[in-house]
Structure 1
């Protein structure tokens, strides 16, 4: 399992992913799940992955090969005329790989074994930054004012934080803080999600990362967020009215 979030702001895009793939008492593996390609001054495209590791690695490997291919080969992310076309390329490739792997293993009716989902985000010069979530079937949806962020992987623990705290006008720094709280809540609740975390901030019309870092285990800032959020929750809980055993519940429905 994994956890990835892509978020749209007025100023650009903020993306974060964990790196854990397998979990257990004695079986923890780390793999990068965030990748980006850029042509400085012209475009930047980011991809985050969740799901079957062999499937996601196959998609990334093929995209890497296409992007390094000779000039007479086309259909690469770095040649796509729009972000919509970039998402279409990734969606078609994901669908093809899942279908091929299921067929090779005699599991045509069980392609979910090789299932994966992805987030594609970025900007091409002359166009607005765009954010897409791609399903295993290859189809996708685009972020909008009504749906300004996407999650893939283990989404349920961190989603309430994003819903309550998100504001499209927030600064990049505030967005990173919000994502850290969301990831901390997920890490605390599910062993299959864990640090290190990869963080990428894309400012509109910059076409190269404004901020790109890996948050390692023991990171001072992330630990301060974790400790501070836990203490803030305890204080908020203590400030709520106490329940009294003699209190009668209001069943009038009014």
Structure 2
């Protein structure tokens, strides 16, 4: 399993993914799930969740690895709009899943599923964010749905819903994502550090900020510890519950 989040702000896009892959408790490894491509007129980032072989096959097809090195041309640079980028990636994902399920017969049903978040901007257009389903269809982020999650989403979702603000700074968005990821890490062993972070500022066709966050990262440690303490403090400050109907907590 994995956890990835893509978020739309007025200022641009903020993306974060974990790197844990596992085929059982005794076979855990680190693998990058965030891929990005930059050109003079665009920046495009893809985050993946699901069967690793499936998602890597899709990325390889995007990068045209079947050609000789001198002839390779990443297809994300040919699409004139982000919508068409998402359409192409959705098509490749659907075809790849179908091919593997057919090749493996009944044993392959459901084993090769995957989903993706596609984010980026092409010059002269708005930054855009898409969630691509295994069937190849997709939805786009909007004012009503300003962020997408894939993978193990349930543990980190409540903090995003409560604290997200489209006008927030990039720095606050990173803080929010770290809290969301920390909550997920604490609750599910299939999601793990290090984390990959990318910030894409509007009309800047290169990553504004990009880094890998490890166990030794002092800021992440401060966020994790501070959030835990803040939750405990908030809990103790909530009104007391009483077993006695009509009695205040002071009289119980």
**Cα offsets for 1:55-95 (capped at 9, x unmatched):** 01111111122697789887811110000000001000000
Map 1:99-138 → 2, pairs under 5 A: 99-107=98-106, 111-138=109-136
Cα separation, 1, equivalents of 2:209 and 2:69? 31
Cα separation, 2, equivalents of 1:23 and 1:224? 31
Structure-1-length-normalised TM-score? 0.92
Q: Say if 1:75 and 1:89, in contact at 8 Å, map to a contact too.
A: no
| Aligned length in residues | 247
C-alpha displacement of 1:242: 1.4
Q: Which runs of 5+ in 2 are unaligned?
A: 248-252
Q: What is the RMSD computed on CA atoms of the aligned residues?
A: 2.1
Structure-2-length-normalised TM-score? 0.93
| 1:19 matched to 2:19 | yes
Q: 1:67 to 1:176 in 2, by over 3 A?
A: farther
Q: 1:165 to 1:23 in 2, by over 3 A?
A: farther
Cα separation, 2, equivalents of 1:10 and 1:147? 14
Q: 1:124 to 1:227 in 2, by over 3 A?
A: same
| 1:43 matched to 2:39 | no
Cα separation, 1, equivalents of 2:68 and 2:86? 19
Cα separation, 2, equivalents of 1:95 and 1:185? 32
Q: Say if 2:44 and 2:120, in contact at 8 Å, map to a contact too.
A: yes
Corresponding residue of 2:28: 28
Q: 1:76 to 1:69 in 2, by over 3 A?
A: farther
Map 1:156-235 → 2, pairs under 5 A: 156-235=154-233
